[in-house]
Structures are given as C-alpha cells and as structure tokens.
Structure 1
Amino acid sequence: MFSLKLKQVCWFALLVTILEVQPVQAINPSYPTVTADAAVLMDAATGDVLFDKQAHKKRAPASTTKMMTAILGLELGKPDEIVTVSPKAAAVGESTIHLDPGEKSTLYEMITGALIKSGNDACVAIGEQIAGSEDQFIEMMNKKAFSLGAKDTHFENTNGLPHKNHYSTAYDLALIARYGLSLPAFSSIIRQKETEIHFLEPDFLMDLRNTNKLLWNYPYADGVKTGTTNAAGKCLVASATKDGRQLIAVVLHAPNRFGDAQKLFEWGFEQTENVSVVKAGEKVGVFPLNQSQTLEALAQYSVNISALKIEKDKIETKITWTRSTDLPIYAGEELGVLEVWLKGQKITSVPLIAEREMRNVNPFLR
C-alpha cells in the first residue's frame, strides 16, 4: 500500500513539473545559452544590441584585433602599393604566414593574409607600410577605435598578441566589425573560405584557408575573424546574412565559439526583426502655431530599430517641440524631436523639421 502511494506521489510530482515548465517555454521564448564568458548579438543595419552577456567587460581580444589593422590598411593605403617585409615583421611569432625579410607583395595581399590566415607578421608589415612604424600605426588604431564608439578598447600591438594593456569588449568588437562590414573590400576578403596571395619577390603563390570554420558549417555565415590565445581563450567575431538582414555575433573566451555564434544567429533571425518606425520626409505631426494655417513637421531621416517580435507592438513614439512659435520659420528648420521608446526606455530620436516656410501674414491683407 505504501509503495503504491509513493508511486502515485512521484507521478503527480512529475506531472506538476511538466505542467510548470512547458507553458513557460511556449509563451516566453528564452534567450540562448552560450558557453562564452562574454557575448553580444548586434543588428548590422541598426546597431541595436539583441543579446548581451557581459558585453562591456574588458577582455583580451586576441586576433580579432586584426579587424582594425585591416580597416586602416584598406582606408589609408592603396591596394596595389608594394609592401617590403622588414626583419621586425618577419620575426613575429605565433600565428603567421611565414614571411621572410625582403619579401614583397601588395598591401591588399598582406591584408588578405592577416584576415584569412591570421598572420601576425602580415599585421606588422601593414602597420609599418601605412605609418612608417608599428608604434605610430597603433596610435592610429586607438584613435580610430575611439571615433567608432569603441571606448573600452585599447591596442598595444597590431595583431592581438597578449599584453596587459591590450583589451576590448564584445560590444566594441561588434562596433568595429560593423564598420568593417561597411567597406566593400573588407567584406569581400572575410567571406572567402579559401584563396591565394601572390608574392612579387620571390615570385610565388601562397594558398590560404580561412580560420573561421563557421563559413563551412553555417550557410548564412559571411565573416568575420577568429582569435585564440591562452589569455583570451577561443574568440570569434562572426557575421551572417539571411533574407537581406545581417547580424553580428561576438563570443569571447568561448569553448564552443562556432556553436555559440550559430546559436545566437538562429535565435536572432527567428525571434527578432527590424521595424520601420518612421521614414525620411514622413509627416509626423502638426507644429502648434497660433495661426489659421498649419505647419506639418517631417522626420528628417528614417528610423529603423531591431526588437523581439513579441515586443514590437510595444514600440511607442513621443513628440517634443523644442522651437518657439515665433515667425518666420524656414523650410527645413528644426522644430522638435520624435522620440522612440520601448518598455519605458528611450531607444533613439529623430529631428522634426518644417515642411515649408511660414511667415507673418499682414493683418490688413488678411
């Protein structure tokens, strides 16, 4: 009798557990679980953060550093200018493309070697070519990072080799990747699974295979850069595009970096979407004038935000008028702002401008 009652209790407890767990999963899609110590998922078009796990914690970025080296190389140099490998560049160890002093290749080929094969030596050669010395180039890297909003980032070298003052964050690396993806040459290089680079002196070709295995394992993957050191662990900055929408995933110190990135992408494409809040030139409101005529206020530019699909109906807009009603008002003059809010938090704002000119009317003529 006791045994029967015990079985009934156990079955009841199991039934309660099932009833408690299943509805929660069905109603509230959970955020993905990742092995990374720090991670972020960002929409490339809007810059909105969709997933955040210690995204602003400073960590060693390893070879993801090379994104910034490549960006400056592409922006400040000419693709076909000749780079001569210095003894300093050739002496760099760890991950390399085995450069020797005196070898020559184009700047574009060196950048390809840095991004695809993660050549530490190629990064030093790029820095010396652009700035005259690696130290001068590093200063440029730090200034560029700050200008992009990566304010928790500091570089001490061009390639990500360990240094106590060389750090970044998952969020900052996503910002840097987002900027890099806006450069056609950068995007063209990082999406390649395999390629070759041509050396001019001596004349030979070198085959390269991308270190980003996600390009083989995930059909929507199209970049960006791996990184691995003992201090940083396994790191990955990745991008993926599906149905015209591109997402950026960053996972730092991640035992399963490729699995983490894929999990973030699948969750992001499935559970979030871009929402058009207002289009450039759209009539948003009527400016409160004490006149018989009305003056329409237009959105100065378009606003799109990324949000959870189950929360997009909670997006709200609020108009704040900032200009006095004194006339004249000129066409295109700022009248106020349209604020975009989600769950009690202001996401962004867009200036509202006058549709046309508005002047005082002569009372006699009226």
Structure 2
Amino acid sequence: MRVWRKALALLAAVCLLPLHAGAAGAPAVSAASAILVDGESGRVLYEKDAHVRRSIASTTKLMTALVVMDRCRDLGEVVEVLEEDTRTEGSSMYLRAGDQVTVEELLYGLLLSSGNDAALVLARRFGGSVEGFAALMNEKAAELGMADSSFANPNGLEEEGHWSTAADMAKLGAACLEDETIAKIVSTPSISLGGRYLTNHNKLLGLCEGCVGLKTGYTEKAGRTLVSAVRREGQLLICVTLQDPDDWDDHIALYDYGSAAYPRQVLVEAGARTATLPVTGSLVPAVEVETADAVAYPLAEGERPRVEIHLPEGAVAAPLEREVPVGELRFYLDGEPIGRTDLVYSASVRRDAAPPPPLRRLWDRLTGGGG
C-alpha cells in the first residue's frame, strides 16, 4: 500500500469544510460531575470531574435493562411477583405479591416509573438473585469498557460497592440507545400497560428539543443524577450529570452549547469517487474506487481534519469485483485518528486479453502511467 498525496478534489473538499459561526463558551454547570459526548464518534465535547467515582442512584436501572435484554428471548414472558419483591423502599410501580406481569411491563415500570420493585423481579428472573444479577451487571460493565464502575444491586439504592462515573455512564447510555427496545421505552413519555398508567420521570422529553430519553435518579447521598440524550440535525449527543441540583437546565445548556460549538460535519459521503487505478489483464484500462461508507465527525470552528488515501502501488490485476475493498480513507485531527472508511471498486472488471500496445501506450500517456 502507498499513501496518495495528490491534490484530489476529495482532499480539497475536506480541507475546505465551511466554517460555522463561533459558539459561546461552555456553560457553568451545578453538577459535581458532568460530561457531554458526541454519540456517533465518542468525542468528548465537555467534561467536569467526569472520572470521579460517585453514587449514581436510579440511573443504575439502565444497566439493569441492558442485562435483561441480553438474556430475554420473549418480552411477553409472564413473571410472578413474590412477596420479597415488594419489600423495597423508594420509587415503585406498585407491584403486589401474586401479580402476573410481563417482562415488557416490568421494563416500562423500571425505566419510566423507576420501579425498585420491578428491578427486583427482573433481577430474580434473569440472575437468580440480586447477587447473581449484580455479577452479570459487572460483567456487562467490563464488556462496555466501564472500568470505573461497580454494581451491587439492580435498582441503585445506596450500598457498599455501588458506584460509577459520568464518563462510564455516558458509555452505558450509548449502549442502551443501540438496543431498539430500550431506546423505545426511554423515549416514551407515558403508557398504559397491564392496567397500569406509567409516566416517565424524565422531564427533558418535554423540555428539551430533540430529547430521546434516558433515565433520572435520586438518593440523599447521590443527589440528583441524570443520563439523557438528544438528536439534532443528525447529531446524537449524550449528557450525564451526577450530584446536580439543577440538572434539567444544565442538560439543556450543555446540548445548546454542544450542537453550536461542535456541529456534525460530513467529511466524505458514501460512494464518493476518490481515485482511478490502472488495470492489467483486461480490455478495461482503469477502474475507479469509491468510499464504502460516509464519515462524519463533530468539529469546532477552525478545526481542519487531515485525510490520507491508502491504495495499492501500481496497477491492479483483473478480474475485479464491485464493492470489494482495495484500500482505505483515513481522517486525522491533531495527529489522532477520527474516522475511516474502506475504498472499494466502483465497478466489476472482467479478465480479458491485454489491449493492443498502441492503446496501452495512449492510456499510459493520458494517465501518466507506464512506469
């Protein structure tokens, strides 16, 4: 492979991305810990003590839901509520011993009403016990790269060994949004299920433009905790605040800042023609290569990504199949990789007898080939 450094139209387009209007500085927030992340790229747009371990209260239930969805094969499965499931403090979906409730109803009660009772029923069904379910939660945390998190129960009530960080909870929020069922539930303002009317505690669904969930929390030790997300003009933003007395306003202010200061920029579209490669073994003298996927990244005013085109050196030999990868397009910002896509053949080329020498010499003169 070689890196092409020719002044291609694609390179010019990337280097001349339009400047956007400068945004005001980052807002001051009341939270002890906070983070704002671009959900598509993972770029951190704002953070404040985001790696400090703190109590997370009922935002824990996002992990509970994710573990359940990893193991649930039927949302319509009916689970019987036991007396021990109802013996819990705090928020509840008001289950009673002997109730027959579906897993789907329990998930809505868990994520909308923040039911601590629903959390216990789900933990017993999918983990065998609270302790067994907590072990599954910690396995999932490790899988998601949540290195500064520890779970001891499925509901977020204060307990030794139960904590996380704003940065880790942002990872959890992103994972939950990738699950279609969880994403649907956390974006639901209210619903009637199984004779119960459940209302979402997340007021941002009505207060914040583009909000798509996720979960609130509160205990006396943790204070107010909130994991939320918005979609604006194709950009997904995820925000987490811990110990925040003014979380609604802080999340709205951070989203307004993030979407203005770091708007999503499409660096290259899918199907963009980037180069032409000479072909041997065919009557077709050359084949174009194009991008397999679009690449986007949030950029601040004045930031210019660098692009590299990696393609084979010299000619490629027929036969060639359309959409087969032949190279890469890589993007860098301040020396760090920020995105990539495969470069693929834009058309299939069959193997034929070589073209007559005069035609080959003409092609070489036109393309600068021939050694």
Shared fold (TM-score, shorter chain, > 0.5): yes
Partner of residue 317, structure 1: 307
Q: Which segment is superposed worse, 354-363 or 57-66?
A: 354-363
Q: Which runs of 5+ in 1 are unaligned?
A: 1-25, 199-204
Partner of residue 345, structure 1: 336
Q: Which segment is superposed worse, 261-270 or 108-117?
A: 261-270
Q: Which letter does structure 2 place at the counterpart of 1:171?
A: A
Q: Which letter does structure 2 place at the counterpart of 1:111?
A: L
User: Whole-Å Cα distance in 1 between the matches of residues 245 and 279 of structure 2?
Assistant: 62
**TM norm structure 2:** 0.76
Q: Deviations over 1:64-112 (max 9, x none)?
A: 1111212333453222111112333222323333433322211111111
Q: Deviations over 1:185-209 (max 9, x none)?
A: 32332233333442xxxxxx33333
Equivalent pair of 2:280/2:315 in contact (CA under 8 Å): no
RMSD (Å) for aligned C-alpha atoms: 3.2
Distance 1:337 1:153, change over 3 A: farther
Q: Which runs of 5+ in 2 are unaligned?
A: 1-20, 358-371
Partner of residue 63, structure 1: 58
Give secondary structure in 1 for the equivalent of 2:330.
strand
Written as runs of structure 1 = structure 2, the 5 A alignment for 1:1-366 is: 29-77=24-72, 78-198=74-194, 205-286=195-276, 293-308=285-300, 310-311=301-302, 314-321=304-311, 328=317, 330-331=320-321, 334-355=325-346, 366=357
Distance 1:154 1:352, change over 3 A: farther
Partner of residue 8, structure 1: none
Q: Give the C-alpha shift of residue 244 in structure 1.
A: 4.9
Q: Give the C-alpha shift of residue 359 in structure 1.
A: 9.6
Give secondary structure in 2 for the equivalent of 1:264.
helix
Q: Which letter does structure 2 place at the counterpart of 1:345?
A: E
**TM norm structure 1:** 0.77
Equivalent pair of 1:60/1:167 in contact (CA under 8 Å): yes
Q: Give the C-alpha shift of residue 245 in structure 1.
A: 4.0
Equivalent pair of 2:34/2:166 in contact (CA under 8 Å): yes
Q: Give the C-alpha shift of residue 259 in structure 1.
A: 1.2
Q: Give the C-alpha shift of residue 56 in structure 1.
A: 3.3
User: Whole-Å Cα distance in 2 between the matches of residues 317 and 288 of structure 1?
Assistant: 22
Q: Give the C-alpha shift of residue 260 in structure 1.
A: 0.8
Give secondary structure in 1 for the equivalent of 2:150.
coil
Equivalent pair of 2:230/2:236 in contact (CA under 8 Å): yes
User: Whole-Å Cα distance in 1 between the matches of residues 226 and 114 of structure 2?
Assistant: 12
Q: Give the C-alpha shift of residue 164 in structure 1.
A: 3.6
User: Whole-Å Cα distance in 2 between the matches of residues 297 and 287 of structure 1?
Assistant: 7
Q: Which segment is superposed worse, 99-108 or 241-250?
A: 241-250
Equivalent pair of 1:287/1:335 in contact (CA under 8 Å): no
User: Whole-Å Cα distance in 1 between the matches of residues 273 and 51 of structure 2?
Assistant: 38
Structure having greater relative contact order (Cα 8 Å, sep ≥ 6) = 2
Q: Give the C-alpha shift of residue 361 in structure 1.
A: 8.8
Runs of 4+ in 1 over 6 A off after TM superposition: 288-292, 357-365
Equivalent pair of 1:194/1:208 in contact (CA under 8 Å): yes
> % of aligned pairs identical?
30
Give secondary structure in 2 for the equivalent of 1:318.
strand
Q: Deviations over 1:19-38 (max 9, x none)?
A: xxxxxxx9663112211122
Q: Give the C-alpha shift of residue 61 in structure 1.
A: 2.0
Equivalent pair of 2:331/2:338 in contact (CA under 8 Å): yes
Distance 1:220 1:362, change over 3 A: closer
Q: Deviations over 1:107-162 (max 9, x none)?
A: 11111111111111211211222233333333333333333343433322211222
Alignment length, in residue pairs? 332
Flag the structure with higher helix content.
Answer: 1
Give secondary structure in 2 for the equivalent of 1:260.
helix
Distance 1:28 1:71, change over 3 A: closer
Partner of residue 361, structure 2: none
Equivalent pair of 1:74/1:108 in contact (CA under 8 Å): no
User: Whole-Å Cα distance in 2 between the matches of residues 184 and 363 of structure 1?
Assistant: 53
Q: Which letter does structure 2 place at the counterpart of 1:186?
A: I
User: Whole-Å Cα distance in 1 between the matches of residues 117 and 248 of structure 2?
Assistant: 25
Distance 1:298 1:55, change over 3 A: farther
Q: Deviations over 1:166-187 (max 9, x none)?
A: 2322232222222322333323
Q: Give the C-alpha shift of residue 230 in structure 1.
A: 3.4
Q: Which segment is superposed worse, 232-241 or 41-50?
A: 41-50
Q: Which letter does structure 2 place at the counterpart of 1:127?
A: A
Q: Which letter does structure 2 place at the counterpart of 1:311?
A: G
Q: Deviations over 1:289-314 (max 9, x none)?
A: 99995454432322111223x235x1
